[in-house]
Structure 1
Amino acid sequence: MLRPLFATDAPGPVLSSRNLLLRLPENKDYRQWSALRERSREFLKPWEPSWPRDSLTRRAYRARVRQSAIDVREDTAYSFLIFRRRDEVLLGGVTVGHIRRGAAQSASIGYWIGVDHVRQGYMSETLSSVLKFCFDALRLNRVEAACLPHNTASRGLLEKVGFVEEGLAREYFRIDGIWQDHVLYAFLERDRRFKTVLEAATQ
């Protein structure tokens, strides 16, 4: 967790990488967030749960901000907004959720990116930062992700970062109003160690 390049009052961790800064949502982000979500509605709709009618209202957003702070205090979820460092433009979001402690030490991640910013490498950089946070800061052993079988872009992204496909979960999430099967992926802490050794050996 590194110091941000621009001022933030957001509680909780701030993640910084070469091109991006990830932090918890703040009330001041509402206009950027709602505008990006609205522009991206048709792009995101096939991959997300149905949006409530009030999902883009300021009231709903403030409730989201409050819940995000509660989740961090209780160590149950970390919902980051993704900003481009050079101009503070909001690109999307990523959530580390369903955190299980004790014998499990695992979590699930979900992510979205605005239609204006797809296929520019931002999400692979985001997931790399988030995995480092999960293993180094949260001390997790396992990070899971799920995507629709026909979402080739998301599947390619997960595999590029290093996630391993584990199988198919029937009717795993209700997406766009329909219960749909999902392909399950996971990244283990030992996978990161193996990947580091492999990369060093090939350099």
Structure 2
Amino acid sequence: MTVEGGDEVWTASDAQRHVRLLGLSGSTRQASTNTALLRALQAVAPDRICLDVYDRIGSLPVFSPDLEGAATPPAVQEFVRSVHGCDGLIVSSPEYIRSIPGGLKNAIDWLVSTHHVIDKPIALVHASHRGDEMLQVLRTVLATMSTNFKPEIFFRLSLLDQTPDGIAQIVGAPPNRLAAETFLETFATFCRERAPCKPA
């Protein structure tokens, strides 16, 4: 089936196309629970969903308007390219003093200095039963930076004090795996719906 729109024709197969997602860890810790959750989601991602994980916000210099444009550091350029190239962004963050950690806020500052994130679909995952105040702040920030932040698409597991291997086992065990797959499928569908249609 095709749908015509102006001079372009769109195919129904767009609804089943592969979706590339990027998981953004808001932690700089090597054994981060948030990074481990994103990697566990990566491991259970259904067919047609590719989830990459960006866990290097600690490598980004402090945002400065003086470093925009031609002066943008290579680490920032790589980060912005990763976000630009994905169909949707999944953010997982710890809570620091009831708010967003400085490293994640710095990464977000770099993103909003470009146009790549304005319409980017964004969803949240959370690795703790705590942190609701941080989540509220983060939801406000994400809703401000993107017109396609979807707070209703949300995945949460209490994983505090678990090792990365333990987190992988917890996420991979039913019914958590089913909930994780459902979350990813729901977000992928949202990303497909928000993606610019491509000519057949």
Does the alignment reach a TM-score above 0.5?
no
TM-score (norm 1): 0.32
Q: Answer 1 or 2: which has greater strand percent.
A: 1
- Return the structure number with greater relative CO, CA threshold 8 A, min gap 6: 2
Q: Answer 1 or 2: which has greater helix percent.
A: 2
